[in-house]
């Protein structure tokens, strides 16, 4: 089971999502303000990632 979770976490889209989330959190903690461009990109990536996950679960 742990191997399956690690395999899923090591996909490119998961790595990108994790990195973007960390950057988003750092920006919020450090500056308290996130640039609009980054917010738009972050929300698009999250919507795509979770949209793909829900589509896979529905199958």
Q: What is the pLDDT of residues 6-24, one digit of tens each?
A: 666 667 777 888 898 899 8
| This prediction's pTM | 0.64
Q: What is the pLDDT of residues 37-48, one digit of tens each?
A: 988 988 888 888
- Locate the domains of the chain by residue range: 2-58
Q: Per residue, what are the HEC states of the chain?
A: CHHHHHHHHCCHHHHHHHHHHHHHHHHHHHCCCCCHHHHHHHHHHHHHHHHHHHHHHHC
């Amino acid at each position: 089971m742990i191997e399956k979770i690690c395999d899923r976490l090591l996909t490119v889209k998961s790595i990108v999502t994790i990195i973007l989330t960390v950057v988003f959190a750092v920006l919020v903690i450090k500056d308290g303000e996130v640039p609009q461009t980054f917010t738009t990109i972050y929300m698009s990536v999250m919507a795509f990632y979770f949209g793909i996950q829900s589509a896979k679960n529905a199958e």
